[in-house]
Structure 1
């Protein structure tokens, strides 16, 4: 397996480990602490639930993306930014991004509302007394 690319396995701190451990229950191969994929009749403990590093490939590909902030903290440390609104880590889509996905939608609505209010206030069709 010399041509297989070696991936860097990120190590987690305790908070990240706890978040990952909660996520393990979302895995379709998890059954009461056992891994159904590794089970060969005598039961096998889910390695992801007892490890402080990401060992299970299925967890990395299918389950970890459910928690965007944890995935960003583990795999995109250098490219990640903090949201200006809530402080969560996120992976920006451009160099101008300053909000995470959840806050971006809310802030877009807020700024559109402010822009429209200003536009209505400055509209020449309305008299000064009507604009107030």
Structure 2
């Protein structure tokens, strides 16, 4: 997770996350057992408004679906209509004009036309 991807929580989200931090299996009286290397280390998730603990993100945050949904909204899927058949489809790239079925048919037609043209030249 890069610095630009780190989510910053509002105060209410922070308070909700504080309650969840105590559910973490590595949380021990404000310290993180996972980071403990002989001396006590404060749980980073309990002292910041950012989501920086990978363990918290992977195992604890899914316990509160509402908080997870507000911090990580589902990506919006942009729909487009196929120029060949007119059915809506989700394009894999920004410049895709045809659905996968029509794209395959157009490729076949193009290949046939190319082969026909090259056979006639010989």
1:21 and 2:18 are equivalent in the alignment: yes
Distance 2:10 2:54 in 1: 19
Call closer, same or farther: CA 1:13–1:78 in 2, change over 3 Å.
farther
**Counterpart in the other structure of 1:41:** 38
Runs of 4+ in 1 over 4 A off after TM superposition: none
1:1-132 alignment to 2 at 5 Å?
A: 6=2, 8-76=5-73
Distance 2:71 2:26 in 1: 22
Query: What is the aligned-residue RMSD (CA, Å)?
Result: 1.7
TM-score, normalized by length of structure 1? Answer: 0.53
Q: More displaced, 14-23 or 69-78?
A: 69-78
- How many residues are paired up? 75
Distance 1:49 1:30 in 2: 9
Deviations for 1:74-105, whole angstroms, at most 9, x for unmatched residues?
011765xxxxxxxxxxxxxxxxxxxxxxxxxx
Query: 1:42, CA displacement in angstroms?
Result: 1.2
TM-score, normalized by length of structure 2? Answer: 0.58
- Runs of 5+ consecutive residues of structure 2 not aligned to the other structure: 77-122
